[in-house]
Amino acid sequence: MTAKTERSIPFIYKFIVAILALAGMFWIAMMLGATNTTIKDVWLALTSHVKNERILMIRELRLPREMAAIFVGAALATSGAMMQGITRNPLADPGLLGLTAGANAALAVTMAFIPSANYLYITIACFIGAAVGSLLVFGIGAMKKGGFSPLRMVLAGSAVSTFLYAVAEGVGIYFKISKDVSMWTAGGFIGTSWHQLQIIVPFIAIGMLISLFLSRQLTILSLNEEVAVGLGQKTMQIKAILFLAIVLLAGASVALAGNMTFIGLMVPHIVRTMVGTDYRFIIPMSAVLGATLMLLADTLGRTINAPYETPVAAIVAIMGLPFFLFIVHKGGKVLS
Amino acid sequence: MVRLYTKDLNIGYHEHLIVKNLNIEIPDQKITAIIGPNGCGKSTLLKTLTRIITPQSGTVVLDGKQIFNENTKVLARKMAILPQTPESPGGLTVGELVSYGRFPYQKGFGHLTKKDYEVIDWALEVTGTIQFKYRPVDSLSGGQRQRVWIAMALAQEMDIIFLDEPTTYLDMAHQLEVLELLQKLNVEQGRTIVMVLHDLNQAARFADYIIALKDGKIVKAGNGEEVMTRDVLKQVFHIDAEIGRDPRTNKPICLTYHLVKGE
């Protein structure tokens, strides 16, 4: 009967609590950092036109950076949730199934061959790379009959990712741009500007909207492919649109923050224990929780060894690895 | 004229045809069992009848329309599919799963109406699973789970239900429970039932019409008396069977068998 009592807390209350947690984390993230600021500074930076050194720092450096963390966290968590739903693979994550590595390689190639490429072009290259990377993984996974077993997908993902990272490195070394590439891919949210946000956020917003609109379809799809067809879903169509949304979200995340594994893996699993198996609830909750966790990771990155930065990808990985092992250990029983 | 039939159905890829030039009619409001050895194309046929697989040529007609051109949601109100051993996401409750049977009737975000809730409770009631409504599906036994999936199909308010080996992995009592539930749905509500079965005696006992397949072709189709014969079983399963009568149901029953030797 636990299920009954659990369900008696309506989703909307849980969601409000999550939003409050996000707002709280945002506030903490804005206050802490290499430069100490006060609540008043943050308030003035957000609401007024007052200009002094600390307030400008908040407005032009910290605010865009934390906004980026919010959007990237939400995007990665949402795309992870969608991937887990479509593939019914509890280990699905944009970082594990080749999307991140693909975007990375595309980024390096673009920087090498079109040095003049502006931010929009690089972002689009990331989308293409993410699509190619994931198609490679799915292609290899599907080569053998009955091929989409969770572990084989992850193996294919790691093989393809390793290859694509090698491509990125090779291109970087050969064209002597490896420093630029790694600044981008390993840089996390350092130096995110309002200009970058203006370009990236619309893509993330579109991806999120698609995922919200199709969340009910995703629930049906996550049951079983044949059941979904039997219930009258056009599964090919739905999967194609969801795939587009995943590519937009994962590609945009790489363009903004570089490599980030595990957020997309972890968050949806945590969310399922809170709101159940219905993607109408999983998607929005994953977005909020993903944003909160990413803010936390970036804030830790900025503060544990201030004034030096600890790479946020490393912090996410440290938080995520035990989780990954836990899910592998459970053998997919926690599945979605 | 029956509602559902196939026309010159070829299923498979290129040279490798799994089902060849198949013409069958599914009798309305009856129980049909598809039997045959492993790899004979039973499941493939079932998946094609339910539009999961598109055939290479030929077609499936329901109510005078080719199902592959029909609106898939409209079809979902007429037919339901129960795949072999479907798994459900961990933590999904029985009530939620059955509510997805209302999907073909919903638009947009799918808020359940009063009528939807009534149908869901009715489906749970009929299948004897109402007491599990708030329990996670994966906490139930195999037989209970199978009944819950049947409840989901019922929530679709379909006329025809297709099942792929609904008794696999169940113990004898639970097998019977599932088959008797299906029989009840057929007798009391006039629903057409089409299922792939492994157990010949179950097929003979519960089905009005049996289709025996081998290598993608029909060896024999008819009632239990016609299909459960020494000759047919020899052709289909390559066994030498002793056929008797079930003392309780008076249906034909395979008492014992040997492999056909010397070939």
Distance from CA of A231 to the nearest CA of B (A): 5
- Pick from A95, A105, A91: nearest CA to A75: A95
pLDDT at A148: 62
Tokens of A230: 């039997």
pLDDT on residue B262 = 62
* Integer angstrom CA distances of residue A297 from A288, A290, A294, B67: 14, 10, 5, 52
Does the beta-carbon distance from A232 to B74 stay under 8 Å? yes
**DSSP secondary structure letters along chain B:** --SEEEEEEEEEETTEEEEEEE--EE-TTSEEEEE-STTSSHHHHHHHHTTSS--SEEEEEETTEETTTS-HHHHHTTEEEE-SS----TT-BHHHHHHGGGGGG--TT----HHHHHHHHHHHHHTT-GGGTTSBGGGS-HHHHHHHHHHHHHHTT-SEEEEESTTTT--HHHHHHHHHHHHHHHHHH--EEEEE-S-HHHHHHH-SEEEEEETTEEEEEE-HHHHSSHHHHHHHH-EEEEEEE-TTT--EEEEEEEEPP--
> In Å, how far is A209's CA from the nearest CA of chain B?
13
Is there a contact between B89 and A1 if contact means CB atoms under 8 Å apart?
Answer: no
Q: Which residues of chain A are within 8 Å of residue B52 when distances are taken between CB atoms?
A: 226, 229-230
Q: Is A114 contained in some domain?
A: yes
Q: Above 70 in pLDDT, residue A247?
A: yes
Give pLDDT, residue A177.
81
User: In angstroms, how far apart are the furthest CA atoms of chain A?
Assistant: 64
Residue A7 has pLDDT above 60, yes or no: no
Query: Which tens digit of pLDDT belongs to each residue from B87-103?
Result: 788 778 999 999 999 99
Residue B249 backbone phi and psi in degrees, to 5: -100, -10
B108 phi and psi angles, rounded to 5 deg:
55, -125
Does residue A58 fall inside a structural domain?
Answer: no
ipTM higher than 0.85? yes
CA-based nearest residue in chain A for residue B149: A227
Q: Does A216 touch chain B (CB under 8 A)?
A: yes
Contacts of A227 in chain B (CB under 8 A): 81, 83, 86, 100
Residue A50 near chain B (CB below 8 Å): no
pLDDT value at A2 more than 60: no
Query: Is A330 an interface residue toward B (CB < 8 Å)?
Result: no
pLDDT of residue A180 exceeding 60, the answer is yes
Min Cα separation B71/chain A (Å): 8
Contacts of A226 in chain B (CB under 8 A): 47, 50, 52, 81, 83, 86
In a domain, A47, yes or no: no
Residue-by-residue DSSP string for A47-106: H-----HHHHHIIIIIHHHHHHHHHHHHHHHHHHHHHHHHH--TT--TTTTTHHHHHHHH
- Distance separating alpha carbons of residues A228 and A217, to the nearest angstrom: 9
State residue A6's pLDDT score: 46
- Taking contacts as CB-CB distances below 8 angstroms, the residues of chain B near A229 are 50-52, 72, 81
Burial of A21 (0-12, 13-18, 19+ CB in 10 A): middle
Q: Which residues of B touch A7 (CB under 8 A)?
A: 93, 134
d(CA B226, CA B251) in angstroms, rounded, equals 11
Distance from CA of A218 to the nearest CA of B (A): 11
Contacts B98 to A, Cβ<8 Å: none
Residue B86: other Cβ atoms inside 10 A:
18
Burial of B42-77, coded b for 16+ CB within 10 Å and e otherwise, reads bbbbbbbbbbbbebeebbbbbeeeebeebebbebbe
Number of Cβ atoms within 10 Å of the Cβ of A161: 25
Please tell me the distance in Å from A265's CA to the nearest CA on chain B.
Answer: 16
Band (A8; pLDDT cuts 50, 70, 90): low
- Residue of chain A with shortest Cα separation from B137: A3
Nearest to B81 among A215, A226, A278 (CB): A226
Q: For A276, left (φ over 0), alpha (ψ -120 to 50), or beta?
A: left
* Residue A334 confidence class, pLDDT cut points 50, 70, 90: very low
The alpha carbon torsion through A219, A224, A227, A232 (nearest 10 deg) reads 50
Q: What is the pLDDT of residue A5?
A: 42
Look at residue A52 and tell me if it is in a domain.
Answer: no
Tell me how close the Cα of A242 comes to any Cα of chain B, in angstroms.
Answer: 16
User: Quick check: is A272 in a domain?
Assistant: yes
Sign of CA dihedral B104, B93, A285, A310: negative
Domain, as residue range, for A268: 63-330
Share of chain A above pLDDT 70, in %: 93
Q: Which of A226, A233, A235 is the mutation pick for testing B, counting most B CBs within 10 A?
A: A226
Whole-number mean pLDDT of chain B?
Answer: 91
Mean pLDDT of A85-97: 85
A37 vs A210: CA distance, rounded Å: 38
Chain B nearest-CA residue for A336: B89
User: Looking at the DSSP assignment, which residues form a beta bridge with residue A70?
Assistant: none
3-class DSSP state for residue A278? Answer: coil
- What average pLDDT does this structure show over B121-143? 92
In which element (H, E) is residue A2 found? helix A2-7
Query: Per the domain annotation, does A19 fall within a domain?
Result: no
A 6-45 → B contacts, CB under 8 A: 7
For residues A218 and B201, what is the distance between their CA atoms, to the nearest angstrom?
40
The answer to whether the CB of A295 falls within 8 A of the CB of A116 is: no
- Nearest CB neighbour to B134, from listed A1, A88, A223: A1
Task: Count structural domains, chain A.
Answer: 1
Please state, in angstroms and rounded to a whole number, the distance separating the CA atoms of residues B226 and B210: 9
> What's the pLDDT at A4?
44
Taking the CA of residue B91 and the nearest CA in chain A, the distance in Å comes to 6
Q: Cβ A224–B156 below 8 Å, yes or no?
A: no
Element (H, E) at A317: helix A312-330
pLDDT interval class at B240 (50, 70, 90):
very high
Tell me the CATH number at A178.
1.10.3470.10
pLDDT of residue A335: 45
